[in-house]
Structure 1
Amino acid sequence: MIYLIILIASFLIGFNFSVISGTLIFLDETFLNTSFQQEIVVGSLLIGSFIGLLFVASFIDWFGRRNSLVISYALYFSGAVLFSLSDTIDGLIVGRLLSGVAIGASSVVAPMFLAEISQKDKRGGIVSLHQLLITTGILFGYLSNYLIDESGAWRSPYAASAFIAAIGLFGAVMSKKFHFTHEPTRKTDILMTFGPEIKKPLILGILLASLQQVTGINAIIYYAPSLLLQEGIASRDIALFASVGIGVVNFIMTIFAIYFVDRLGRKPLLVYGSVGMILGLILSLFGYFEMGTLLYIAAFATSMGPVVWVYLAEIYPEKFRGRLMTIATFFNLFFNAVVAFTTLDLIRLVGVSGLYGIFIFFLIISIAFTLRFLPETQGKSLEEIENSFKKI
């Protein structure tokens, strides 16, 4: 039951990220008439996420994980209700901001909590459930958009997400199994003991979290229907249906990652997955847009999608894990926001081919970074990983 309560937050992360892709098409027919307005509504979720990170960084190591989840679910609920009832762009933005604050908090709490309650030989797979439920949320977001057949019905998915958030809130408040608390840690400690055991994992985590975003995944997740329409590949209905296919591939391949992450290790999955993402983008550049996109999504789902969160939940010392993971997640969401705010403008400036060329460049950097700097954490306890950095 405790896993389910945590993973509802993961589901809502993915749902909120993907559901907007179809909503944009319907709102484009009503009162979101410019790409700037669309980018503001999409990007406001990320702005809220930054606020959520600042919020969770202040108390996650002081008051435990349960309070973080309770507040996150309350914000998910409030944001979804406001968005579903809004008739103005201001209401849409505020609703997305509230949901974003919840995402910022739960993006840190969920994988970290899962890592702390898992056995070392199963930790990779269990933490990968966080990404699996994110992809499940993404899939349901796409599917709900496809099932909408009239403009006014775009509110229904947000009402449904409010109901799911209410279930998570009730479970987090009522469950008697949430007893994970930590002794208060002085804020100055993290600066006073800024040795290798903190410095190296912090830098590795920041770079890894950033690379997950600048390699382009959320350009596809946010704007998949728009990209299909932009390329003249599909009508509105077919574009929405194709985005459901993206969600299905993302979901299925994440299941494979859960199986292999504790058997093959973290580094091989990252390297092979990055190579697959490059091949997918190249196929798209040569005109095989649908096939290339699906290969890119499949490769991401077996590598960067789950493995980055496994690493971030593993490499930080227990005493500072909450705050250090918050820092890495901040950079992840920052570059997520950069992608959200610039994708449509970059397509206008350099075209889809130029945009994909940028993603290929960062994927090559990611492969080199993984091979040269990332340690393999497979089969090690959190204490063993922490001690390994102290010996550097």
Structure 2
Amino acid sequence: MTTIVASLGGFLFGFDMAVVSGILPFVREQFGLNALQEGWFVSSALAGCILGVIISSDLSDRLGRKKLLFIAAFLFLLAAIGCALFADLAWLITARILGGVAVGIASTVVPLYLSEIAPDDKRGRLVTYYQLAVTIGILVAYLSNAMLLNYALANAGKSTNWLFVKEVWRGMFGVGVIPAVLFLAGLTQVPESPRWLMREKQTTGSYKELFAPEIKRAMLIGILLPLFSQFSGINAIIYYGPSILHDAGITLSNSFISQIIFGAANVFFTIFAIWKVDSLGRRPLYLWGTAGAAVSLALTGICFFTGATGLPLLLCVMLFLAFFAFSIGPLKFVIAAEIFPDHIRARALSVSIMVMWLADTLVGQITPILLHELGTAQTFWFFAAFCVLAFITVYKLLPETKGQSFEEIQRTMRHI
């Protein structure tokens, strides 16, 4: 029950991240967005994420993990209502930033909380449930977008409904009210982190300690893995999937169906990660995942380059999603939540997540520019190169941590 409730923060993270992919074509047309405005509309929530991460490290140590999750749940609710109702673009972006703050808090505190309540031999699995919730949130966003789009198309000219027909994208945003309310209610039933309670009266570490020689390798891993994760190309597919498929000749309605297929594949292969992360281990999954992601992204680029944009394109993208979902996606959270000492874990994890969101913001800004200036094929090859760098980083730096206590992991990190 505790894991499910906490993972609702991941669900809302995934929903908020993916719902914009279906909304983007409508908002672009309604407000006449240029490439720069489009990038800002997408990444404005990511700017909020950065603020959320900044405040989460200190507050989660001072107030506790549970209270901060309450704040995130309330912000998720306000953002969903605002995005559904605000008529002005500036206020709409303000609501997006507010939702981003909630995502930033959840993306730091939920994996931190789950890692601290989990037994050593199940820690990888429990933290991966968070990523599973993210992928389910993405899939639900795709499904609700497709259902609302079909409803709007079926009732065009027959109904004056503003929220679900005339400006259906507002209804797509509004669906987020439901999981936000469930998250708020569920948090009243979960306990505080036992590790936080044990350390509540103790002094927490400072950011200066993150540069200590004994945790240099851990810090390098905690920074590079989320960086490469965001430059793997996953968000190009999530944010711009319908637009890319539409430009490839697939109709807007069919592109939504393709996104649902992508989302289902993401969920399925994340379940594989839950099954194997505590038996096969973090390192083998990460190596196979980064290698496979690089190859599948290269093939995706070839599909666009040669004009093979039907079934071959969908298969290549699904292959990439498979490799991402059982390795790159969940394991960056699992590893970052377990490789740092107790007294600086919250601060170190916040830095790791901060890097993730900074990279995510950058990807959101440059993806439409890359697509326009370089072309779709070259953009996917660009992301494939980063997957190769991720493979090299994991091979050189990452030890195996499955089944080890936090204390055993610290000894391993100090002696390699």
TM-score over 0.5 (shorter chain): yes
Conserved in 2, the CA contact under 8 Å of 1:283 and 1:291? Answer: no
Query: 1:198 and 2:215 equivalent?
Result: yes
Cα distance in 2 between the residues matched to 1:229 and 1:196:
50
Corresponding residue number in structure 1 for 2:24? 24
Corresponding residue number in structure 2 for 1:47? 47
From 321, 326, 329, give the equivalent of 1:305. Answer: 329
Cα distance in 2 between the residues matched to 1:333 and 1:52:
10
TM (norm. structure 2) is 0.90
Matched ranges for 1:73-88 at <5 A:
73-88=73-88
Of residues 382-391 and 40-49 in structure 1, the stretch that sits farther from structure 2 once superposed is 382-391
* SS of residue matched to 1:302: helix
Of residues 238-247 and 149-158 in structure 1, the stretch that sits farther from structure 2 once superposed is 149-158
Q: 1:96 to 1:190 in 2, by over 3 A?
A: closer
Conserved in 2, the CA contact under 8 Å of 1:197 and 1:317? Answer: no
* SS of residue matched to 1:281: helix
Cα distance in 2 between the residues matched to 1:32 and 1:144:
25
Cα distance in 1 between the residues matched to 2:35 and 2:246:
14
Corresponding residue number in structure 2 for 1:119? 119
Corresponding residue number in structure 1 for 2:376? 352
Deviation at 1:188, TM superposition (A): 6.5
Query: 1:171 and 2:186 equivalent?
Result: yes
RMSD (Å) for aligned C-alpha atoms: 1.7
From 354, 360, 365, give the equivalent of 1:336. Answer: 360
Amino acid at match of 2:315: M
Q: When the two structures are aligned, how many residues end up with a matched partner?
A: 390
Conserved in 2, the CA contact under 8 Å of 1:32 and 1:38? Answer: no
Unaligned 5+ segments in structure 2 are 153-165, 304-311
1:209-263 Cα deviation digits (max 9, x unpaired): 111111211111111101111222x011011111111101001110011101111
Corresponding residue number in structure 2 for 1:102? 102
Conserved in 1, the CA contact under 8 Å of 2:50 and 2:101? Answer: yes
Conserved in 2, the CA contact under 8 Å of 1:80 and 1:99? Answer: yes
Deviation at 1:388, TM superposition (A): 2.3
Amino acid at match of 2:217: K
Corresponding residue number in structure 2 for 1:279? 295
Amino acid at match of 1:75: L
Query: 1:211 and 2:228 equivalent?
Result: yes
* SS of residue matched to 1:389: helix
Cα distance in 2 between the residues matched to 1:179 and 1:325:
16
Deviation at 1:28, TM superposition (A): 2.8
Conserved in 2, the CA contact under 8 Å of 1:2 and 1:178? Answer: no
Matched ranges for 1:55-94 at <5 A:
55-94=55-94
From 241, 255, 274, give the equivalent of 1:239. Answer: 255
Deviation at 1:37, TM superposition (A): 2.4
Corresponding residue number in structure 2 for 1:265? 281
* SS of residue matched to 1:55: helix
Amino acid at match of 2:277: V
Cα distance in 1 between the residues matched to 2:132 and 2:37:
31
Q: 1:120 to 1:33 in 2, by over 3 A?
A: same
Deviation at 1:175, TM superposition (A): 2.2
Deviation at 1:193, TM superposition (A): 7.9
Amino acid at match of 2:273: A
Deviation at 1:353, TM superposition (A): 1.5
Conserved in 1, the CA contact under 8 Å of 2:139 and 2:263? Answer: yes
User: Displaced runs of 4+ in structure 1, greater than 6 A?
Assistant: none
* Percentage of matched positions with identical amino acids: 34
Conserved in 2, the CA contact under 8 Å of 1:61 and 1:184? Answer: no
Query: 1:157 and 2:172 equivalent?
Result: yes
Q: 1:263 to 1:187 in 2, by over 3 A?
A: closer
1:262-319 Cα deviation digits (max 9, x unpaired): 1111111111111211221122223232111111111100110111111011101111
Of residues 149-158 and 373-382 in structure 1, the stretch that sits farther from structure 2 once superposed is 149-158
* SS of residue matched to 1:122: helix
From 243, 250, 258, give the equivalent of 2:266. Answer: 250
Cα distance in 2 between the residues matched to 1:227 and 1:368:
29
TM (norm. structure 1) is 0.95
Corresponding residue number in structure 2 for 1:382? 406
Cα distance in 2 between the residues matched to 1:26 and 1:235:
14
